[in-house]
Structure 1
Amino acid sequence: MTTTTAAATDAAKNPFTLVYAGAIAKNEAGKVNIHPVTYPLNGLDIAANVYTPANYDPQQPYPAIVVAHPNGGVKEQVAGLYAQRLAEQGFVTITADAAYQGGSGGLPRSTDKPQFRVEDIHGMADFITRFAGVDPQRLGLLGICGGGGYALSAAKSDKRFKSIATLSMFNSGRVRRNGFADSQMATVQQRLQQASDARATQAAGGNILYAGDADMSDAQIAALPFEMYRQGYEYYWRTHAHPNSTFKYTSSSLLDLMRWDATDQIALLEQPLLMVAGTAADSLYMTEEAFAKASGAKHKELFKIEGATHIETYWVPKYVDAAMGKLTPFYNKTL
Structure 2
Amino acid sequence: MNAMTALELTPVWDKTFPQSDKVEHGKITFHNRYGIELAADVYKPKRVPANGRFKAIAVSGPFGAVKEQASGLYAQTLAERGFLTIAFDPSFTGESGGSPRAVASPDINTEDFSAAVDYLANRTDVDPEGIGIVGICGFGGLALNAAANDPRIKATVASTMYDMSRVTANGYFDADDSAAKRNEMRTQLAKQRTEDYANGDYARAGGVIDPLPDDAPQFVRDYHAYYKTPRGYHARSVNSNAGWNVTSSLPFMNMPLMTYIGEIENPALLIHGEKAHSLYFSKAAYEKLEHGVNPANKELLIIPGANHTDLYDNLNAIPFDTIAGFFTRNL
Q: Same fold (TM over 0.5)?
A: yes
Partner deviation per Cα, 1:35-68 (whole Å, 9 max, x = no partner): 1112233332211111101224796011001112
Corresponding residue for residue 266 of structure 2: 271
- Equivalent positions of 1:157-172 (< 5 A) are 157-172=149-164
Q: 1:199 aligns with which of 173, 182, 193?
A: 193
Q: Is the 8 A contact 2:58 2:133 kept in 1?
A: yes
Question: The residue matched to 1:103 in structure 2 has which SS?
Answer: coil
Question: The residue matched to 1:190 in structure 2 has which SS?
Answer: helix
Cα drift, residue 203 of structure 1: 4.1
Q: Is the 8 A contact 1:23 1:81 kept in 2?
A: no
Instruction: Determine if the alignment matches structure 1 residue 302 to structure 2 residue 300.
Output: yes
Cα drift, residue 273 of structure 1: 1.2
Change (3 A) 1:143 1:265: same
Greater share of helix residues, 1 or 2? 1
Amino acid at match of 2:182: V
Corresponding residue for residue 210 of structure 1: 204
Amino acid at match of 1:19: T
Q: Is the 8 A contact 1:141 1:165 kept in 2?
A: yes
Cα drift, residue 205 of structure 1: 5.5
Q: 2:219 aligns with which of 187, 205, 228?
A: 228
Corresponding residue for residue 253 of structure 2: 258
Which stretch shows the higher mean deviation, 69-78 or 34-43? 34-43
Change (3 A) 1:58 1:179: farther
Amino acid at match of 1:315: D
Q: 1:237 aligns with which of 204, 228, 235?
A: 228
Q: In structure 2, what is the Cα distance between the partners aligned to 1:268 and 1:86? A: 27
Partner deviation per Cα, 1:248-307 (whole Å, 9 max, x = no partner): 112222220111223112222111111110111110000000000112234111111110
Structure 1: gaps spanning 5 or more residues: 1-11
Corresponding residue for residue 8 of structure 1: none
Corresponding residue for residue 117 of structure 2: 125
Q: In structure 2, what is the Cα distance between the partners aligned to 1:112 and 1:212? A: 14
Corresponding residue for residue 322 of structure 2: 326
Instruction: Determine if the alignment matches structure 1 residue 314 to structure 2 residue 308.
Output: no
Q: Is the 8 A contact 1:228 1:283 kept in 2?
A: no
Cα drift, residue 126 of structure 1: 0.9
Cα drift, residue 23 of structure 1: 2.8
Question: The residue matched to 1:333 in structure 2 has which SS?
Answer: helix
Q: In structure 2, what is the Cα distance between the partners aligned to 1:204 and 1:296? A: 48
Corresponding residue for residue 3 of structure 1: none
Q: Is the 8 A contact 1:58 1:132 kept in 2?
A: no
Aligned length: 312
Q: In structure 1, what is the Cα distance between the partners aligned to 2:227 and 2:156? A: 26
Change (3 A) 1:233 1:166: same
Which stretch shows the higher mean deviation, 46-55 or 177-186? 177-186
Structure 2: gaps spanning 5 or more residues: 1-9
- Equivalent positions of 1:51-70 (< 5 A) are 51-56=43-48, 60-70=52-62
Q: In structure 2, what is the Cα distance between the partners aligned to 1:207 and 1:190? A: 23
Q: Is the 8 A contact 2:60 2:135 kept in 1?
A: yes
Amino acid at match of 2:122: R
Q: Is the 8 A contact 2:166 2:256 kept in 1?
A: yes
Q: In structure 1, what is the Cα distance between the partners aligned to 2:58 and 2:28? A: 14
Q: Is the 8 A contact 1:37 1:48 kept in 2?
A: yes
Question: The residue matched to 1:232 in structure 2 has which SS?
Answer: helix
Q: Is the 8 A contact 2:208 2:224 kept in 1?
A: no
Cα drift, residue 151 of structure 1: 0.3
Q: 2:278 aligns with which of 266, 279, 283?
A: 283
Change (3 A) 1:56 1:228: farther
Change (3 A) 1:44 1:263: closer
Amino acid at match of 1:299: N
Instruction: Determine if the alignment matches structure 1 residue 249 to structure 2 residue 239.
Output: no
With the length of structure 1 as denominator, give the TM-score of the two structures: 0.88
